[in-house]
Amino acid sequence: MKKLLSLAVAVFMLFSMSIITYAEDKIVDEIDPNKELELSLNEAIEYALKHSRDVKIQDLEMKRAQLQYDQGRSGARELEEQIDEYDNLPNDIRNEMRGEVIPIIESELLNLGVLDRQAKLTRQISIWNKEIKENEIKYNVEKAYFDLLQSEIDMEIAKEGLELANRQYEQSKKMYELGTISHQQLLSVEFAVSQSQSGFDMAIVGYELQKMSFNNTLGLTLGQRVKLTDKIENKVHDEINLEESIEAAHESSAMLKAAQESYELSELTFKAVKAKHVTPNQYGYREQEIAVEQAAKSLDTAKNGVEMSVRSAYYSLITAEKQIKTYEKAVENAQKAYELTELSYDLGQNTSNDVTKARIDLMDAKKNLSKQIHAYNLALLDFKYAIGLGKNTISGGF
Is the pLDDT score of 350 beyond 90?
A: no
Residue 83: pLDDT band (50, 70, 90) is low
Q: Give me the pLDDT at residue 10, please.
A: 43
How far apart, in whole angstroms, are the C-alpha atoms of residue 254 and residue 261? 11
Q: Are 311 and 321 in contact (CB under 8 A)?
A: no
Q: Are 330 and 369 in contact (CB under 8 A)?
A: yes
Q: What average pLDDT does the segment 378-384 reach?
A: 94
Q: Give me the pLDDT at residue 99, please.
A: 52
Between the CA of residue 248 and those of 242, 251, 295, 296, 342, what are the distances in Å? 10, 5, 23, 21, 55
Instruction: Point out which residues pair with 154 in neighbouring strands.
Output: none
How far apart, in whole angstroms, are the C-alpha atoms of residue 270 and residue 138? 40
What percent of the chain is predicted at pLDDT more than 70?
Answer: 84
Residue 294: pLDDT band (50, 70, 90) is very high
Q: Give me the pLDDT at residue 172, please.
A: 92
Q: What kind and span of H or E run contains 226? A: strand 226-228
Decide which of 195 and 11 is more confident.
195
Q: Give me the pLDDT at residue 374, please.
A: 94
How confident is the model over 152-164, as pLDDT tens digits? 999 999 999 999 9
Q: Are 127 and 257 in contact (CB under 8 A)?
A: no
How far apart, in whole angstroms, are the C-alpha atoms of residue 147 and residue 133? 21
Measured torsion, CA atoms of residues 290, 292, 297, 303, in degrees rounded to the nearest 10 = 170
How confident is the model over 208-262, as pLDDT tens digits? 999 999 999 999 999 999 999 998 887 788 899 999 999 999 999 999 999 999 9
Is the pLDDT score of 144 beyond 90?
A: yes
**For the chain, first and last CA: distance in Å?**
46
Is the pLDDT score of 90 beyond 70?
A: no
Is the pLDDT score of 372 beyond 90?
A: yes
Lowest mean pLDDT among 90-94, 192-196, 324-328, 362-366: 90-94
State the average pLDDT for the chain. 86
Q: What average pLDDT does the segment 45-51 reach?
A: 95
Q: Give me the pLDDT at residue 19, please.
A: 39
Q: Which residues contact 29 (CB under 8 A, 6 or more apart)?
A: none
Q: Give me the pLDDT at residue 398, please.
A: 54
Q: Give me the pLDDT at residue 100, please.
A: 54
Q: Which bin fits 348, alpha (ψ -120 to 50), beta or left (φ > 0)?
A: left
